[in-house]
Amino acid sequence: MQDMSDLAQRIAGLRARISAACERAGREPSTVELLPVSKRQPLALVDEAAALGFSTFGENYVQEGAAKAEARPDLRFVLIGPLQRNKAKAALQAFQEIQSVDRVELVERLGRLAEELDLMRGVWVQVDLWGEATKEGGCAEADLPALLDALRDQPRLPLRGFMAIPPPEQPGAFAELARLRERWRDAQGQPLRLSMGMSGDLEAAIAAGADQVRVGTALFGARS
């Protein structure tokens, strides 16, 4: 590994962790996507990660992500941070997917704008089963039926799956999310991916069935 860059070494370490977690869970490593979270990281590191095989990057802030998307139109950027209604248009134009859809009024605004802009954007519903919405955003389980009903009326916003940021003090959170996905996968009659787990808990997330893990600092290093 001496000839590998720091970034390449970190990526290799993460891939080894994912492979080991998949082996323990009886899964193929190819079934788990590693999403690099590039918020507050320079374009030079994004470029290096792209040269190492990544084509999709997660961003938390609309303005920062839009600037990167404009500078690197050959790459895909997805929004994983909270989205305010007044930034919905910019988000649709900059991001290929929006993972933080969490309320009916946002779905309706995104749908109207997607029609006006003649765009189609995959969306993920951010769910909150633990009353954490004031901190990170997310749709409470009781509000989920109405939100999914609203999405069914928006053909330009195809549902990709569920995203969540569980509190670290909830050891059973990943299993709860997996059960939620199963219930709605059956009810919707369509595949639903599950984005959960970050650098500190990706093994537990993979064991519970995560299809995507989102990793920032453990992949790119400390943010400037």
Tokens found for residue 147 = 């939100």
The pLDDT confidence band at residue 222, using thresholds 50, 70 and 90, is: confident
Q: Taking the domain 6-220, which CATH number applies? A: 3.20.20.10
The pLDDT confidence band at residue 3, using thresholds 50, 70 and 90, is: confident
Q: What is the pLDDT of residues 46-70, one digit of tens each?
A: 999 999 999 999 999 999 999 999 9
Burial of 217 per CB tally in 10 Å (0-12, 13-18, 19+): middle
Strands (E), the chain: 33-36, 56-59, 76-79, 97-101, 122-128, 139-140, 159-163, 193-195, 212-215
CA distance 161 to 142: 17
Q: What is the pLDDT of residues 91-112, one digit of tens each?
A: 999 999 999 999 999 999 999 9
What counts of helices (H) and strands (E) characterise the chain?
10, 9
Q: What is the pLDDT of residues 173-203, one digit of tens each?
A: 999 999 999 999 999 999 999 999 999 999 9
Q: Give the H or E element holding residue 14.
A: helix 6-25
Measured distance between the N- and C-terminal CA atoms of the chain, rounded to whole angstroms: 25
